[in-house]
Structures are given as structure tokens and as C-alpha cells.
Amino acid sequence: MASKTLDDLFYETLKDIYYAERQIVKALPKMARGAQDEKLKAAFQQHKEETEGQIERLKEVFEIIGKRARGKTCPAIDGIIEEGEEILEEFKGTPALDAGLLAAAQAVEHYEISRYGTLRAWAQQLGLKDAVRLLEETLAEESKTDETLTGLAESAVNAAAQKAA
């Protein structure tokens, strides 16, 4: 059995997040359509556009390491997205829908933050300076999105879900 290296781990994780981002870009329009709060709808729509840019940056990282951009099925993101779809179905038309969608979106963000933080650290270790820059840009966007979602939850969405209860 061939010895696996950090390069191999970096590549496998890059394929994982590439798959995840492509699934997320498909899920965000559904979440935006389902959201009742206009600011939450707008946040989902904006993040879809950001995610498209993140996919392009991932393609650049694949180029940097001399590999073809391709995904690898990520059961974790599939499960998180499935939970969001369940919330859309089970809470449709209820005051708690937006709070549930927001929580599902933050689960996605936390997964992405974890992946991008790891990939950035590994890219640094591997001396992939251009990849570090690209991954840091995406990590900053994901962190900002998480902060935006937290702000929406704390300023309006969670209270609206509770008030109507």
C-alpha cells in the first residue's frame, strides 16, 4: 500500500469541499424561496452569488496543484442539506420556519469554515502561497456570512419564531 501524504489529504479534502459547494449552490435558491423574512431571503441570494465565486476559486486551487477540478461525494454536507430540506417541509408556513432555515444555513457555514480553515493551514504547510490566499478569501466570506446569519437570528428571526408561539 502506497504511503499517503499531506498532499494527498489536501487533494481529497479539496474534492470534498468542491462537491459541497456545488451542492450548496443548488440548495440556496430553495432556501431563499422558502424563507419568509426578506432579509433572510436576501442573505441566501447573496450567499449563492458568493458561493459561485468560491467554486471558481476552488478551480484555481485545483490548477495550482495540477489536478482537474472534481468533487467527491460528501455525506456530511448531503446530510446537512437534507436536514434543511426537512425543515422546509415540516415547518412550511409556520413562524418557526425562518429560525429553522437559519440554523440549517449556519450548520452549512460551520462545516465550510472548518474545511476552509483546515485547507488553508495545509496549503501553508505545503508552501502553496497562491492557494493560501484563495482559501483565506473564501474563509473570510464564510465567516462574514456566519456573522450575518447570527445577526439576523438575534435581531429578528428567533424572536419572531418565539413571539408567534
Question: What domains are there in the chain, each with its CATH number?
Answer: 6-163 (1.20.1260.10)
- DSSP collapsed to 3 states, the chain: CCCCCHHHHHHHHHHHHHHHHHHHHHHHHHHHHHCCCHHHHHHHHHHHHHHHHHHHHHHHHHHHCCCCCCCCCCHHHHHHHHHHHHHHHHCCCCCCHHHHHHHHHHHHHHHHHHHHHHHHHHHHHCCCHHHHHHHHHHHHHHHHHHHHHHHHHHHHHHHHHHHCC
pLDDT in tens, 48-92: 999 999 999 999 999 999 999 999 999 999 999 999 999 999 999
- Looking at the predicted structure, is the pLDDT value of residue 164 above 70? no
pTM score: 0.93
